[in-house]
A and B are shown apart, each in its own frame.
Chain A
């Protein structure tokens, strides 16, 4: 999945000579946490986070006058140079950068111009979609030997029952490299025929299908 598919294109930006007060207002009004700072050509020269702005403000518990500080230019507190992404980068690369660099937002740049931003929240939404939990379905976990051909073998059980799969995930099984857990999200309220087929074919099902049905 490419960054351009999940990035936000309506980017709220400021310029380096805007005031810290303006940045504070923009963050609060738009409920955002990062503002890319651009020049007249939409070239990204810095980025400001809500934390940068808060660090610049005096404590709300003190009576200190804040006007001079808030009138200063954003350029004095912005981070620069800025880590950026390209619209055709992969989402997983962005996840790696967020994790390694401990940041939560990347401006997306194409032809030296800002075209979007991608945030931690966009990545979490993508994770929700990958798990298939955003659509109605039943969740079935199967423990399988880690060997070629096993995925189509198990998936064919769903196909035979004409049940649509909305997502498949492959997890490691604890620390045992010989096994994997296949997690299927199937678009049906009646997973029973599939569960029975899987059992009959000798696959090991995980909780809550691994204790025998009291009802049979």
Chain B
């Protein structure tokens, strides 16, 4: 088993930084990288530096005028910026915004090139996965939609069928919209129902339009959903969708905000879901894609207790086909302990006593099952 896997990283990816009180904090990426290094899981040969995306590449998804607006954000007036979703509380202006955002896109494209040009089996860019970026508008902490750009890039350059899998607790609306009428790109997003949570979309009945009808899948799950229900319906849905679509390559968006510690969402998963998600992705990549799998980051707002472990497990599964177990390396804990805003976890899994007890658990499970049935209503029929 001599697999080639690549980890895209350099410190320029940390420049995507709104301000110190903003919940989106790319220190997560460094924490993940060091956790892997200190666990002996990541070597220097596996790390590749990101390139920067060209304007033409960004324009695969975004309007040139929007790109121009991002480039000139520091000089344009507030009203103008707001019409492009820039300068809001969610996506405030910061200096060299374009360069930082274009670097993240470039990093995702570097991951794509590693797999499709240089024959790596899998590649990760945890700085990417900014799935709320739209053609003409920044939103939800996202400026350029690196995932959508990478998919367009793969379509144009390699003509492969792409399955995009989004496990962020928020609906992957920007990516869905970019491929809503495209039958060669299948998008699947599992997320907390949009009834309460941003952005509000992602209902099962959003299935795509025109030729793309039947290639957008949405699995909205109830607030306070826990491990068993999440894993059960997620696995069933993904296996069925993959078998229906038969992708050539998968791109996973690994937002790590469905955890009970995450401050921005109401989902209640534990580390168990972050052990299972990459295992199912691996299975799909082997079965249909001759291993081709690119993993991205995404949301994740408990940057100390949740995100580093969740993302590191994606890499661990790529490398060893199994998530890590037992204690976290003390070197990592000692290094970050004093900087962390909450006590760091000491094991890869969550302690049982920390997992909250949720009222209405049965009701939540039943509603999620119902969403799953709705989601898969047409896949079996279409093939028979």
Contact = CB atoms under 8 A, between A and B. Distances in A.
Chain A bound to chain B: yes
A208 interface: yes
Most B CB within 10 A of own CB, among A133, A138, A209, A215? A215
Interface in A74-124: none
Contacts, number: 69
Contacts of B260: 214-215
* Majority secondary structure of chain B interface residues (helix, strand, loop or mixed): loop
Contacts of A46: none
B140 A208 contact: no
A214 B200 contact: no
A208 B196 contact: yes
Contacts of B223: 207-208
A137 B268 contact: no
Q: How large is the interface on A (under 10, 10 to 19, 20 to 34, 35 or more residues)?
A: 20 to 34
B141 interface: yes
B268 A214 contact: yes
B288 to A, nearest CB: 33
A136 interface: yes
Interface string B130-170: 00100000011100000000000000000000000000001
A189 B196 contact: no
Contacts of B199: 136-137, 189
A191 B192 CA distance: 15
A162 interface: yes
Contacts of B113: none
Contact of B139 (A136, A162, A213): A136
A155 interface: no
Given A189-B170, A208-B223, A137 B200 contact: yes
Interface in A165-216: 185, 187-192, 207-209, 211, 213-215
A215 B342 CA distance: 11
Interface residues of B, number: 29
A190 B196 contact: no
A164 to B, nearest CB: 8
Nearest to A214: B356
Contacts of B170: 189
B262 interface: yes
A139 interface: yes
A181 B349 CA distance: 40
A192 B264 CA distance: 6
B263 A189 contact: no
B197 interface: yes
Contacts of A138: 196-198, 200
Contact of A208 (B141, B198, B224): B224
Interface string B252-268: 00000000111110101
Given A163-B89, A189-B141, A208-B224, A139 B196 contact: yes
A161 interface: yes
B200 A136 contact: yes
B40 interface: no
B99 to A, nearest CB: 23
A211 B302 CA distance: 19
A190 B88 CA distance: 11
B248 interface: no
Contacts of A192: 23, 263-264
Contact of A189 (B90, B224, B356): B90
A136 B263 contact: no
B266 A208 contact: yes
A189 B262 contact: no
B369 to A, nearest CB: 19
A87 to B, nearest CB: 30
A215 B302 contact: yes
A214 B196 CA distance: 18
Contacts of B262: 215
A163 B198 CA distance: 13
A136 B198 contact: yes
A167 to B, nearest CB: 11
Interface of A: 133, 135-140, 161-164, 185, 187-192, 207-209, 211, 213-215
9 contacts: A135-B200, A136-B201, A137-B200, A191-B198, A207-B196, A208-B223, A213-B263, A214-B261, A215-B263
Given A164-B88, A188-B89, A208-B196, 9 more contacts: A136-B132, A185-B200, A188-B90, A189-B139, A189-B141, A190-B89, A214-B260, A215-B260, A215-B263
